[in-house]
Amino acid sequence: MRRPLAVLLAVAALAALVLLAADETFVWVDDQGVTHLGNDPEAAGRAQNARHVSGPELETLWEGPLSDAPPVRAGTSREEARTRRLIEGAVEDLRRGENARAAVALEAILREQPTRPEPHWYLALLDRHRGRYESAEAHLEAFLASSGDGYEAWRASALRRLGELQDERRVSEAPASSDPDAWPAVARGHFRLAVDPALKRSSPDFADTVLRYLDQARESVDQRLDAAPAEPMGVVLYGRGAYDRAHASRFSFRTVGFFDGRMHVVSAAHPAGELRALLFHEYVHAVFRERTGGDRPYWLNEGLAELSERASRSQPSLTRSERSLLHRRSVAREWLPLRRLAPSFSGLDDDDARAAYLEAAAAAAWIEARTDRAARGRLLTLLGEGRSDDESLRSVLKLDTDAIDADLQREIASEFAGVAGLPGGAGSSAADAGLRPTHPSH
């Protein structure tokens, strides 16, 4: 539920997967119902219910790097045209979140053309996102050294970002002491926010930015669920170093966030869309628990949070490739019944866990398409009154869990009827049983 910031890399080669595996981030729920965010694959593996989480599109990071990307150098030679196509293809991969594939292509260009400026720009963005500050700095400096006329605006941006890297280094260092309860709290409207002093030093308007994100999350979720917490919500924002010092003894693995009645979240020095999406997601869980008194049905709780997060990035509820994956699993009789997912996602292996989160998002989207805001709010109210999942769903939707499950599968199947290369479609074959997972951006 309380999800990690992450990059689940769509690998272009096995080597890329090995090199970048450390960048994967996971979400899992412990036996006490506390959700953890972490980048330790061993800890996630022990949790059994852990799943990978796709990183936010780079559009949302570092003030929208792809929206102010440098121009690809023009040229008429065959080699120059090929390089241009490779760079443009890598940028499209970044837009889809296929970061490993993009990195492989960009690094290949630099091996042949080490003074080419554009690959350095994008690799700096990727490395900064992964916390590889020295490498990001080296790429920015290489960009400055190799870029010339026509890159003035991006040179200024590169210089500014070099300064921001120093801020990131500072907040990643453990302070002499770290007691979040001693940090001055900012109470404003519906939130009570405590911020790591190191984050405030890096970004003087940090609290204002985060409170704006939280207000947007509250408004969005209220429009979606006709519900909002009755009391102001506590939110604690940490730099990496302060978080590790405060909570290293709390967990046996490295995390980037948890929820215990307050939201505790690790943030970069300069908040951007990455943090905004996380807060949207977390806010849904807080509202769900406040209204229902718990987290069940888990598939609905997680699905609504996923939809809210995706909406914060103006993304669809599910992509066609994600729905295609669900269709394939349904045809292969690998669909996980929603009733199985109601208590929790525990006990699932990696592939099933990824599918469970996609099913949750698909089921929540199915419900949203058939209800209005008031009906969804009433559904939460009924759950909070102690009604069973099925009783609450029947009251609002006239269908129980199993009927919703069946109708959702039929709806997805109808989208791919007759599609070549898919089970049941023209041209399908036994090879279609080899599923290529598409992981949720959650």
Name which residue leads in pLDDT, 240 or 255: 240
Statement: residue 377 has pLDDT above 90: yes
The enclosing H or E element of 358 equals helix 350-370
Angle made by CA atoms 376, 377, 381, in degrees to the nearest 5: 120
Is residue 171's pLDDT more than 50? Answer: yes
Q: Which pLDDT value is given to residue 21?
A: 32
- Asked if residue 87 has pLDDT above 50, the reply is yes
pLDDT for res 245: 82
More confident residue, 94 or 47: 94
Average pLDDT over residues 90-109: 81
Measured CA distances, 44 to 6, 52, 130, 151, 353 (Å): 13, 9, 19, 43, 12
Q: Is residue 426 scored above 60 in pLDDT?
A: no
User: Does the pTM of the predicted model rise above 0.95?
Assistant: no
Measured from the Cβ of residue 77, the count of other Cβ atoms closer than 10 Å reads 8
User: According to the per-residue pLDDT averaged within each range, which of 117-121, 266-270, 400-404 is highest?
Assistant: 400-404
What percent of the chain lies above the pLDDT cut of 90? Answer: 31
Which pLDDT score, from 0 to 100, does residue 48 have?
Answer: 52
CB 129 within 8 Å of CB 165: no
Residue 428 has pLDDT above 50, yes or no: no
Over the stretch 144-157, which tens digit does the pLDDT of each residue have? 888 877 777 788 88
Predicted confidence band at 422 (pLDDT cuts at 50, 70, 90)? low
DSSP 343: S
Confidence at 5, pLDDT banded by 50, 70, 90: very low
CA-nearest of 90, 100, 83, 86 to 66 is 90
Residue 150 neighbours by CB under 8 Å, 6+ apart: 71
Domain-wise residue ranges, the chain:
14-55+175-294, 60-172, 300-433
Q: In the predicted model, what is the mean pLDDT of the chain?
A: 76
What is the fold, at CATH topology level, of the domain defined by 14-55+175-294? Answer: Glutaredoxin (3.40.30)
Burial of 334 (0-12, 13-18, 19+ CB in 10 A): middle
Phi then psi for 119, rounded to 5 degrees?
-60, -35
Residues 1 and 27: beta-carbon distance below 8 Å: yes
Q: How far is CA 415 from CA 16, 21, 321, 335, in A?
A: 34, 34, 12, 17
CATH architecture of the domain with range 60-172? Alpha Horseshoe (1.25)
Of the two residues 38 and 248, the one the predictor is more confident about is 248
Residue 435's pLDDT is 27
Q: How confident is the model at residue 350 (pLDDT cuts 50, 70, 90)?
A: confident
Summarize the confidence of residues 89-99 as an average pLDDT.
Answer: 75
Looking at the predicted structure, is the pLDDT value of residue 266 above 90? Answer: no
Predicted confidence at residue 96, as pLDDT, reads 65
Q: What is the pLDDT of residue 37?
A: 45
- Tell me which range, 13-22, 25-34, 223-232, 239-248, is most confidently predicted by mean pLDDT: 223-232
- Checking if the pLDDT of 272 tops 70, the result is yes
CA–CA dist 82, 137 (Å, integer): 28
| CA-to-CA dists, residue 249 to 72, 182, 238, 253, 255, angstroms | 48, 19, 16, 9, 11
pLDDT value at residue 53: 47
* C-alpha R_g of the chain: 23
Residue 258 has pLDDT above 60, yes or no: yes
245: Cβ contacts below 8 Å, ≥ 6 apart? 174, 175, 177, 178
Q: Is residue 103 a contact partner of residue 109, using CB atoms and an 8 Å limit?
A: no
The whole-number pLDDT of residue 436 equals 24
Q: How far is CA 389 from CA 29, 241, 276, 306, in A?
A: 21, 42, 31, 20
Cα 298 to Cα 86, 343, 395: the distances in Å are 43, 6, 19
> Does residue 285 register a pLDDT over 60?
yes
pLDDT higher at 130 or 333: 333
pLDDT value at 100 more than 60:
yes
Give the pLDDT confidence score for residue 438 in this predicted structure. 28
Three-state SS at 16: helix
60 falls in which pLDDT band (50, 70, 90)? very low
Query: What pLDDT was estimated at residue 63?
Result: 32
Alpha helices in 178-292 (DSSP H): 197-202, 206-225, 240-247, 273-292
